[in-house]
Structure 1
Amino acid sequence: MRNRSPNVLGVFAASLAAVLAMPVWAQSSDSAAPASDFTWSANVSLVSQYRYRGMMQTNNEPAVQGGFDLAHASGFYIGNWNSSISWLDDSDPDVSSTLEMDFYGGYRGTLWQDLTFDVGALHYYYPGSFPAGYTSPDTTELYLGLGYGPITAKYSHSLTNLFGVPDSKNSQYYDVSGKFETGVWGLVLNAHVGYQKVRNLDDGSYTDWSLGVSKDWGQGFSTSLAYIDTNADRDVYTNTKGKYVGRSTALLTLSKSF
């Protein structure tokens, strides 16, 4: 494949090395200075495959993922999240892009008692090589989320074309998710349903849903297993390799947070 983007494992190896160095820095800093209003966090994951809004992003192959967040005590935050991908190559053999980089920032807080909010902007960036006339997959969305107890509802609105779909500006995604303590072996039940409205793409809109469990093992390690499915139109969402990208699947995730 020509003009590949930078080696994904190399990117994450360098990122992980930086993350592992952070606790040492934080410990020495805490002894010399008062506590900061800023909080750093990071995460690294290995997933059996990458699914986003129910859709295949790595053609049923494993993916490496990770990111960083910087939050302020006031509620403002910024962050970056990254993943290996293949969906752009899978949808067009003339495209070369193997990395997704997400950049986001926003503000979160409490409206009343257990009612919380989260508002911000998210930019999806796909470095790589694209043929002339190809609609850029880079996408910018604004989002607004409301949470109450274990339930979260979120609305996302695209300010650009949506992931390379021509003339799809102002597409929307509606998402309702829940996390429920089961009281059994420390397992958490995770449920989700979402609706992707794609502007000006016939039969392009669809619903996705998932149901699964997760467990925190301590020391920042966690695992999750989920069933994911969609009702996306097979004729619209079949890639050039003949795979229906909205098919049902089981997804296993192994994560480490710092």
Structure 2
Amino acid sequence: MTVLRHTAAALLACSVPSFLLFTAMPAAAQSQPEAEPSAHTFTANVAVATEYRYRGLMQTNRRPAIQGGFDYSHASGFYLGNWNSSISWLGDSNPEVSAPIEMDFYGGYKNTFGGGDWSYDIGVLQYYYPGDYPANYTRPYTTEVYAGLGYGPVTLKYSYAPTNLFGFADSKHSWYIDLSANVPLNFWDLRLNTHVGYQKVQIANASYVDWKIGLTKDLGKGFALAVAYIDTNADKTVYTNAKGRYMGRGTAWASLTKTF
């Protein structure tokens, strides 16, 4: 830019009252359209637990577990996710198996109706256990399709397995029904967690009931602390592992979760 152009610009600036420049700035800012909220939501979570219990049964032989996952949801109600946990139950039941991780992949659709008081959720869930297995071993990989109906804090969910269930041979068409309530309390940001479920396994003596009662505390900044008592009536002859531990034994449990 030449000196003449610099000088002309300076003269023009001096010719405009400064208060006009300042009053014009907010008007320009106000003319910018507000950004619409995104229809896409991405979240992640990580947790440490005193042990991993699934449907009442121990998955880490009374040892701590590290867990975490990722979730995507769309404003329409469609969602996808992945959740993972350390496990030991496969090796605890058969020393020839080396499969220390559970990986869950799921997707579905959920929404509300009836003015928002009612909700529904339908989807499919794949349980995957990468590792080394001996020949002729029934893989624990399991697929379930599920449907849930909720009213307020109460949810009833039905899960059906068209595949074998968690390594049980000839156990296709097993199913699980779960009644849960997560009720906000009016003090200390606490939530009451209750649950009862029935696991039907299509082999003798393997079906059982499990239940839980606990509390969750919102600690702020994405942290949550949960404590619970978990128990089952699972048959000891079926659910005692190779290390002699009864997998359905009642226990106190706790976890700390961070959501991003």
Identify the residue that residue 82 of structure 2 maps to in structure 1: 80
Question: Within the alignment, does 1:142 sit opposite 2:119 as a pair?
Answer: no
> Which amino acid is 1:159 matched to?
P
2:114 equivalent in structure 1: 112
Residue 129 of structure 2 corresponds to residue 126 of structure 1: yes
Gaps of 5+ in 1: 1-32
- Please give the TM-score of this superposition, normalised by the length of structure 1: 0.86
**How far, CA to CA, are the matches of 1:143 and 1:179 in structure 2?**
19
In the TM superposition, what is the alpha-carbon distance from 1:173 to its structure 2 partner?
0.2
Q: Which residue in 2 is equivalent to 1:214?
A: 216
State the secondary structure of the residue aligned to 2:38: coil
Q: Which residue, out of 33, 58, 61, partners 1:59?
A: 61
Q: Give the distance between the partners of 2:130 and 2:259, measured in 1 at CA.
A: 26
Q: Could you tell me which of 185, 191, 194 is aligned with 1:191?
A: 194
> How many residues matched?
225
Bigger radius of gyration, 1 or 2? 2
Cα distance in 2 for residues equivalent to 1:96 and 1:221: 33
Runs of 4 or more off by more than 3 Å in structure 1?
Answer: none
- Aligned-residue RMSD, C-alpha: 0.9
Matched position secondary structure for 2:91: helix
Residue 179 (str. 1) matches residue 186 (str. 2): no
Q: Which secondary structure state, in structure 1, belongs to the residue aligned with residue 242 of structure 2?
A: coil
> TM-score of the superposition, structure 2-length normalised?
0.85
How far apart are the structure 2 equivalents of 1:180 and 1:115?
15
For residues 163 and 113 of structure 2, what CA distance do their matches in structure 1 show? 30
- Superposed CA offset, 1:173-192 (max 9, x none): 00000011221222111000
Unaligned runs of at least 5 residues, structure 2: 1-34
| SS in structure 2 of the partner of residue 174 of structure 1 | strand
Hey, what's the Cα distance between the residues in 1 that align with 2:37 and 2:192? 35
Percent of aligned pairs with the same amino acid: 60
Q: State the Cα deviation string for residues 48-93 of structure 1 (Å, max 9, x = none).
A: 0000000000000000000000001110000000000000000111
Once residues 35 and 244 of structure 1 are traced to their aligned partners in structure 2, the CA distance between those partners, rounded to angstroms, is 50
SS of 1:246's equivalent in the other structure is coil
For residues 210 and 42 of structure 1, the distance between their equivalents in structure 2, rounded to whole angstroms, comes to 25
